[in-house]
Amino acid sequence: MTTAFVYDPFERNHSFPGHPECLERMQSALALLQADGILDTLTRLPNSAAPLDRILAVHSAAYVERLQEICRSIGGSDSDGRQSARGNDLPALWLDPDTYVLRASWEAGLRAAGGLLKLTDAVMTGAASNGFAMVRPPGHHARPGGAKGFCLFGNVAIAARHAQQKHAAERVLIVDFDVHHGNGTEEMFFDDPTVLFVSIHQYPHYPFSGGIDEVGYGPGEGYNVNVPFPSGVGDAGYLTALRQLIDPLARGFRPDVIFLSAGFDGHWMDPLSGHRVSVDGYASMVAELMALAEALCEGRLICTLEGGYDLNALPHCILSTLRVLSRSPAGRSDPFGAVEGNTQAAEKTVSAVKRRLGIR
């Protein structure tokens, strides 16, 4: 069992003071991973920017060109962006009310997608059994024609299409357990029966999409699955969705690879959600997906970071994920414990989704 890990420090150049999606997220995570020593047990992958043809496989050329032009028009330099931004004298532009860009954001976005491509290559060629891409900016809100919700490029969508085009993966399963609906990933594959997309999220909640009836279009109907949980479902709620819904769907679909959009912002300490998930709960979900990957696609589970904004909880979520993936004897790292969730509400939602999809 070889677990690969990719991290690119260039992400530090893409950060705006006071914004929840900031470089401190990675600083806190790296500090814990280094103190723990787990990085020494993983296969560290070098990184580079994603080639534009990979980006253009899911994004429109008009958007990609516009984003590059916007970033180039901003003052400052690509190399000193972090220092200037933290001094609050580097100009930034806002692509929507939540999503900023600096001059260095173009390169940071390409490298975030590139990191996941490197990990995908490693897993698909057998150089690694599974892996985790600790990248930012995140990606699952980015739409084919625009940025959204902190996200510039659809990292997981780019990597999924790459697995198909470069590594001949016929069927790809993407599971997204970020507390926010993966609207961008959904849109990119809404009519595509070769990609099964399942999003478990809080609803109604940003981006205010992801209802039960969003099941895909045309040949993709039935291959887009949303589990719109009310707030507060907790660990048991998420595990109910995995065991009663995702497991049978995956076994029927039989993917060649499983991607995980690993957003940890459903943790009960996170400021942007109310889902009451614990570190141990997230680790249990990763373990379930890992077992599913081993049963269906030779263990190929490729994880990428999405959200997670509590600087205390996020590092332990990432560390525990890496320990599960690598089968570390150290076990999980959850100093915060769990809080009770609304299991009944979760079961009601899962039953409704199963009826909508005709799953018994």
pLDDT surpasses 70 at 78: no
User: How do residues 162-172 score in pLDDT, each as one tens digit?
Assistant: 999 999 999 99
Res 360: pLDDT = 80
pLDDT surpasses 60 at 81: no
What is the length of the chain?
360
- Across the range 181-202, mean pLDDT stands at 98
Res 274: pLDDT = 85
- What is the CATH number for 22? 3.40.800.20
Res 90: pLDDT = 60
Predicted TM-score (pTM) of the model is 0.96
Res 1: pLDDT = 75
User: How do residues 90-126 score in pLDDT, each as one tens digit?
Assistant: 689 999 999 999 999 999 999 999 999 999 999 999 9
Res 210: pLDDT = 98
Q: Contact 151/14 with Cβ under 8 angstroms? A: no
User: How do residues 222-237 score in pLDDT, each as one tens digit?
Assistant: 999 999 999 999 999 9
Q: Report the mean per-residue pLDDT for the chain.
A: 95
Q: Which of 302, 10, 345 is nearest to 163 (CA)?
A: 302
d(Cα 77, Cα 237) in Å, to the nearest integer? Answer: 46
Q: Which of 312, 239, 298, 232 is nearest to 2 (CA)?
A: 298
- Across the range 292-298, mean pLDDT stands at 98
d(Cα 177, Cα 306) in Å, to the nearest integer? Answer: 9
Name the band, by pLDDT with cuts 50, 70 and 90, for residue 298.
Answer: very high
Res 87: pLDDT = 38
Res 88: pLDDT = 43
Kind plus residue range of the DSSP H or E element containing 201: strand 195-202
Q: Which of 202, 203, 253, 244 is nearest to 224 (CA)?
A: 253
d(Cα 95, Cα 9) in Å, to the nearest integer? Answer: 24
What total number of domains does the chain contain? 1
pLDDT surpasses 80 at 84: no
Q: Which residues are catalytic?
A: 141
User: How do residues 248-268 score in pLDDT, each as one tens digit?
Assistant: 999 999 999 999 999 999 999
Q: Contact 39/328 with Cβ under 8 angstroms? A: no
Q: Contact 261/178 with Cβ under 8 angstroms? A: yes
- Across the range 144-159, mean pLDDT stands at 98
Res 356: pLDDT = 95
Write out the residue range of the structural domain in which residue 196 sits. Answer: 3-357
